[in-house]
Amino acid sequence: MKQVLKMSNSEPKLITAPHVVKEELMAAGTWVKLEKTTYVDPAGNTRTWETVKRTTRQTTTEVDGVGIIALLKRTLHKDCVVMVKQFRPPLGCYTLEFPAGLIDEGETAEAAALRELKEETGYKGEIAGVTPVTCLDPGLSNCTTQIVLININGDEVENIHPTQQLGEGEFVEVVLLPLDEFQMKVDDLLKKEKILVDAKVYIFAMGMVQAFFKPRELPVLKQ
Amino acid sequence: MKQVLKMSNSEPKLITAPHVVKEELMAAGTWVKLEKTTYVDPAGNTRTWETVKRTTRQTTTEVDGVGIIALLKRTLHKDCVVMVKQFRPPLGCYTLEFPAGLIDEGETAEAAALRELKEETGYKGEIAGVTPVTCLDPGLSNCTTQIVLININGDEVENIHPTQQLGEGEFVEVVLLPLDEFQMKVDDLLKKEKILVDAKVYIFAMGMVQAFFKPRELPVLKQ
């Protein structure tokens, strides 16, 4: 099923670089707005799309927020991925996600990630890497995120008993999952309780499993 | 920055299971609607949230669509991930994504994935696995997807010269990226052209890299 409303019924014209012609507000909330996007498709036809945008993106950036893959490293412990569990009103249930948050005015992705990690989990980390800007649901919204990789030295005093700095109305439970059995532990959690996992979390797990997949374990291809 | 509008100023009550109280329509397009969600938070306070939903979800399912990790296996070729490149009106630019699409009435995730893969890329695949229902942007929308793993026998006649079955107004370019250098090839593409990569794609790449990461290559943790 495709979101395509064709406006002009003319035959395809010369191939053109597709582009947005105009964006009209359909509805605006405090945090989210809905726009009608008029664009020219690669065949030269003018069409419309319904686009969701956050109202909170800073003017200085193309990215709404950050997701944080934080690895907690402690002496005599397995390396763990620091996850958060919280009630999400849009889904009406608890979710299992990487820590994440929106970028504040003038903030870099790295600074936002260190701040959000500290607020949501109490851990103080060190930046290990940051991805390019990535999109989250490109058929629906213009929402973008940068994934920030953070290492946490769990032997440091402030990381031994980390203290969350949650805002009013925020409730976040920290969940540590061992890196070397990540997918299995996610699956275990899903079996135990009604919780929805974020696609990014599950796909990170699948990437790790894929890397260790032995081609010879594949079912023989049918001819 | 957090989307929290507190409605009741009473002191926190007994801990309660958070839940949605009501969902009110703020605005509806043909494909997307905006709702005001009233919910009770874990402290017992009544709050509101702004939630985006697709209007297209089938009544028989909790999932909007599928994402497809399709591995193309051919004699004397490297295994490749089948990717799609297309102009996305919400972002106003081209994106690099896994093939994906919405689930039609009465369709299973597996059937939707095989159909969408055939339509968008021309390849006929075989189901290798499917994830639980996952959420895409849980602070913004109720949108969900299941990731379907598909193997493609590239030696089969119909997969040697695959033919796309695109709908009116659809323009999709197929991009094959070798599995064993996936992140590097994604990065190369991003350097060459103005293209936005989907977070799921980049995180799948990161998962594979993480799996091969040697702990001894880590910078020594500071004390």
Query: What local confidence, expressed as pLDDT, does residue B35 receive?
Result: 98
A residues 111-140 lying closer than 8 A (beta carbon) to B: 131-140
Residues B70 and B10 in one domain: no
Q: How many domains does chain B have?
A: 2
Residues B12 and B114 in one domain: no
Is B223 inside any structural domain? no
Is B184 inside any structural domain? yes
Nearest chain B Cα to A140, which residue? B90
Q: Model confidence at B214, in pLDDT bands (50, 70, 90)?
A: low
Q: Read off the tokens for A91.
A: 């889904």
Sign for the pseudo-dihedral over CA of B203, B206, B208, B210:
negative
Residues A113 and A133 in one domain: yes
3-state secondary structure chain A: CCCCEECCCCCCCCCCCCEEEEEEEEEECCCEEEEEEEEECCCCCEEEEEEEEECCCCCCCCCCEEEEEEEEECCCCCCEEEEEEEEECCCCEEEEECCEEECCCCCCHHHHHHHHHHHHHCCCCEEEEECCCEECCCCCECCEEEEEEEEEECCCHHHHCCCCCCCCCCCCEEEEEEHHHHHHHHHHHHHHCCEEEEHHHHHHHHHHHHHHCCHHHCCCCCC
Residue A9: exposed, middle, or buried by beta-carbon count in 10 A (0-12, 13-18, 19+)? exposed
B91 vs A: CB within 8 A:
yes
Choosing from A54, A76, A97, the residue where a domain stops is: A54
B79 vs A: CB within 8 A:
yes
A172 vs B: CB within 8 A:
no
A59 vs B: CB within 8 A:
no
CATH number at residue B158: 3.90.79.10
Query: What local confidence, expressed as pLDDT, does residue B61 receive?
Result: 87
In this complex, the residue of B4, B137, B190 whose CB is nearest that of residue A170 is B4
Is A223 inside any structural domain? no
Residues A75 and A162 in one domain: yes
Is B170 inside any structural domain? yes
Rg of chain A, C-alpha, whole Å: 21
Mutate to test the interface with B, among A33, A79, A200, A209 (most CBs of B within 10 A): A200
Q: Model confidence at B60, in pLDDT bands (50, 70, 90)?
A: confident
CB contact under 8 A, B136 and A206: no
Residues B31 and B75 in one domain: no
Query: What local confidence, expressed as pLDDT, does residue A223 receive?
Result: 38
Q: What is the mean pLDDT of residues A139-143?
A: 98
Mutate to test the interface with A, among B5, B8, B32 (most CBs of A within 10 A): B32
Nearest chain B Cα to A91, which residue? B142
Residues B98 and B197 in one domain: yes
Rounded to the nearest integer, the mean pLDDT of chain B is 90
User: What is the model's pTM?
Assistant: 0.90
Choosing from B30, B54, B78, the residue where a domain stops is: B54
Q: What is the mean pLDDT of residues B44-66?
A: 94
pLDDT digits over A143-200, tens only? Answer: 999 999 999 999 999 999 999 999 888 899 999 999 999 999 999 999 999 999 999 9
CB contact under 8 A, A147 and B203: yes
Residues B153 and B127 in one domain: yes
CA dist., res. A69 & res. A201, Å (int): 9
Which one, of A147, A115, A126, lies nearest residue A72 by Cα? A126
B106 vs A: CB within 8 A:
no
Choosing from B54, B73, B96, the residue where a domain stops is: B54
In this complex, the residue of A136, A153, A207 whose CB is nearest that of residue B206 is A207
CA dist., res. B53 & res. A84, Å (int): 23
Residues A120 and A11 in one domain: no
Residues B31 and B73 in one domain: no
CA dist., res. A60 & res. B128, Å (int): 43
pLDDT digits over B152-197, tens only? Answer: 999 999 999 999 999 888 899 999 999 999 999 999 999 999 999 9
Is B218 inside any structural domain? no
pLDDT digits over A8-59, tens only? Answer: 555 544 567 999 999 999 999 999 999 999 999 999 999 999 999 999 998 8
Residues A45 and A80 in one domain: no
Residues A96 and A192 in one domain: yes
A160 vs B: CB within 8 A:
no
A220 vs B: CB within 8 A:
no
Residue A4: exposed, middle, or buried by beta-carbon count in 10 A (0-12, 13-18, 19+)? middle
Q: Model confidence at B220, in pLDDT bands (50, 70, 90)?
A: very low
Q: Read off the tokens for B38.
A: 């009233």
Residue range of the domain that includes A162: 65-213
A43 vs B: CB within 8 A:
yes
CA dist., res. A169 & res. B43, Å (int): 8
A151 vs B: CB within 8 A:
yes
Is A97 inside any structural domain? yes
Given a cut of 70, is residue A61 above it in pLDDT? yes
Given a cut of 80, is residue A84 above it in pLDDT? yes
Query: What local confidence, expressed as pLDDT, does residue A100 receive?
Result: 98
pLDDT digits over A91-138, tens only? Answer: 999 999 999 999 999 999 999 999 999 999 999 999 999 999 999 999
Mutate to test the interface with A, among B171, B203, B223 (most CBs of A within 10 A): B203
Cβ–Cβ under 8 Å, residues A63 and B84: no
Residues B78 and B29 in one domain: no
pLDDT digits over B76-118, tens only? Answer: 999 999 999 999 999 999 999 999 999 999 999 999 999 999 9
- Report chain A residues whose CB lies below 8 A from the CB of B208: 207-208, 210-211
Is A31 inside any structural domain? yes
Is B222 inside any structural domain? no
Which one, of B203, B139, B102, lies nearest residue A81 by Cα? B203
CA dist., res. B223 & res. B213, Å (int): 22
